[in-house]
Amino acid sequence: MHLRKREKRKNIIGLTSLIDVIFLLLLFFMLTSTFTKFTEFDLSAATKGQTDPNATKPVFILAMENGSFDIDGTLVGAEDLEQHVGDLTNKGKKSVILAPKDKMNVQRIVAIMERLQKTDLNSVSLAR
Amino acid sequence: MKLKSQPKKRDLPENTITLINVVFLMLIFFLVVGTVATPLSEHILPAQTKERPIVPPHPNIVEIARDGKIDYRKEPTSLDQLIVILSSELEGNSDTKPVIKLVAHKELDADRLIEILEAMTSGGVQNIRLVTVDNGADE
């Protein structure tokens, strides 16, 4: 009598260890992943020193406590910042120095910088 | 001759394959979605932005706490020390444009941030970036 059928299809080799490894990997990635979405800004400080004589004079923006701005001496309301800066960039001004006039936290400066980044300005530097 | 039914080989529990499938899917999910990086200190809440492009996390970050204290690589540092450390690191670095990243608590006084920035710039540290967090969906 032929008892051929004895041979059973063997299970895939080492399935258990495979699962072990996958679980370990899963745990590793679950614990180490960060989901925070980071963004960033270029920061530069307006410092005294060598100035390029060919460079156009930067626009000076003072940010005030109540949300309005003083752009080179002109008082500008909180909403009109982009429009005003847009006018200036059309006239060839490409760099801005931003300074908080009153005490202000980083979040507000960042919000203003984000608005300025959307204009055609090339550089925004910070000053006190 | 009595043919005893083949002794059953001890099988894996029935739903193992499904289990592996699910675990595999989760693994792939975390591989794709997450990025591996050292997290920021918990007391640092970066400022939020709405429409800035997303950048990957950076391993070496200068952290500025709410009270203006500076941490570099999780160690408290004074401003002068920081500049010394950074400039020596920059000298040893052959990268064309090494970038220094700062992260500041969102309620930190902006004057302090600018003070640190000015000190770093005059200390010869270039290419400074401020790290913020995207908050796009909110509001």
Name the percent of chain A lying above pLDDT 70: 82
**Chain B residues touching residue A45 (CB < 8 angstroms):** 114, 117-118, 120-122
Q: Convert the pLDDT of each residue in A78-87 to its tens digit.
A: 788 888 888 8
Three-state SS at B63: strand
Q: What pLDDT score was predicted for residue A63? A: 86
ipTM for this model: 0.70
Residue B33: per-residue pLDDT: 77
Interface contact B130-A43, CB threshold 8 A:
yes
pTM: 0.72
Q: Name the residue of chain A whose CA is nearest to B113's CA.
A: A106
Mean pLDDT, chain B cut into blocks of 10 residues (139 residues total): 58 74 86 74 84 80 87 85 83 73 87 86 83 71
Beta-ladder partners of B100:
B128
Contact residues on chain B for A106, CB-CB shorter than 8 A = 47, 104-110, 113
Q: For chains A and B, count residue pairs whose Cβ atoms are closer than 8 Å.
A: 160
Could you tell me which of A1, A44, A20 has the C-alpha nearest to residue B99? A44
Q: Decide if pLDDT at A47 tops 70.
A: no
Burial of A63 (0-12, 13-18, 19+ CB in 10 A): buried
Q: What is the pLDDT of residue B9?
A: 57
For residue B23, the model assigns a pLDDT of 85
